[in-house]
Amino acid sequence: MNSMKTPRSRARAPRGQAMVEYSILNWVLVVALIIGASVKIRWTDDVQSNVIDLFMQSYQIYYDSFYFVLNLPFP
């Protein structure tokens, strides 16, 4: 018997596809962040804020609600 293996001819998978997908995903996220930070949303005539400010305000309300519940006088 021959102990040497014959090389199999198999097609190689194309390289670099994951890096292209990763860079496209990063580009989309950066563009979404820039647009979200720069676009003003008009809720009423006197209230205008961008998406980042709205997220920070909602997080502050969420955090304050936990703080309120933890400091209730009930056991």
Q: Is residue 52 part of a domain?
A: yes
Task: Establish if 24 belongs to a structural domain.
Answer: no
- Assigned domain for 8 exists: no
Which token pair is 43? 């809720």
As a whole number of angstroms, the distance between CA 27 and CA 39 comes to 18
Q: Which domain holds residue 64?
A: 33-75
Asked whether residue 72 is domain-assigned, the answer is yes
Give the model's confidence band at 62: pLDDT under 50 very low, under 70 low, under 90 confident, else very high: very high
How much is the pLDDT for 1? 56
Count of domains in the chain? Answer: 1
Q: Is the pTM of this model over 0.75?
A: no
Q: Is residue 59 part of a domain?
A: yes
pLDDT at site 41: 78
Provide the token pair at 23: 């860079």
Torsions phi, psi for 7 (to 5 deg) = -70, 135
- The neighbouring-strand residues paired with 40 are 50
Is position 21 within any domain? no
At residue 47, the 3 state secondary structure works out as coil
Assess if residue 27 is contained within a domain: no
